[in-house]
Amino acid sequence: MGDLLNLLRATLFFCRIHGIFNLKEFTVMKSIKAVVNRVVNPIAKKRGIIHGKIILEWEKIVGPQYAAFCAPLKIAFRQGYRTYGILHIKVNPSHALLLTHSKDLVIEKVNTFFGYPAVSALKIMQIPFTPTKSALSLNVITTPISREIMTSECAPQERLDKALDDLKSLIEKEEKAKKTERLF
């Protein structure tokens, strides 16, 4: 609770210094997210991030599978326009090819989030970074697969050979039937 109070005090101090909003607005209870949005938005607009929401809600926009290895940096628009921008994304180098392949899907998800065609292209920057805590929990193998389990669940060699022989004879019968049909 003390950390939260210190964060709120620091946010109030920052807002008072930069004149973002009055102290009177804090007399009504507000969520921390609303306060953070009010602080982040003016700063983010200078960097080209629309409403600052793309950074705060990146995991909701693209899903945890993409948020695990990429994050937005900024959106660059042509001067005077706020549509069809270029979204700059930092991505772990090992996942750059996957993101390149899924480029259209990411663009569609971002545009769906904003409700208009805010992004028309991605610029992928290969920058290593540490993923979020929720992303670290994805695709984790909890127990190693032992050879005993693997061999007991696999078919023995004799059964496999018999199945292949049956398949071969079935294919030969079908080919023979096709040849006889051609004759008549």
- Give the CATH number of the domain where residue 66 resides: 3.30.300
pTM: 0.52
- Is residue 115 located within the same domain as residue 100? yes
**Region class of 129: left (phi > 0), else alpha (psi between -120 and 50), else beta:** beta
When divided into structural domains, the chain yields a total of 3
Coil, strand or helix at 173: helix
Q: Are residues 70 and 20 in the same domain?
A: no
User: pLDDT tens digits, the chain, 184 residues: what are they?
Assistant: 556 566 666 666 666 655 555 555 555 556 777 777 777 777 666 665 665 778 888 999 999 989 989 999 888 888 888 889 999 999 999 899 999 999 999 999 999 998 999 899 999 999 987 766 555 454 544 455 555 555 555 556 777 788 888 888 888 888 888 777 766 6
Closest CA relative to residue 110, chosen from 80, 71, 137: 71
The residue ranges of DSSP E strands in 43-183, in sequence order, are 70-76, 85-91, 119-126
What range does the domain containing 35 cover? 1-47
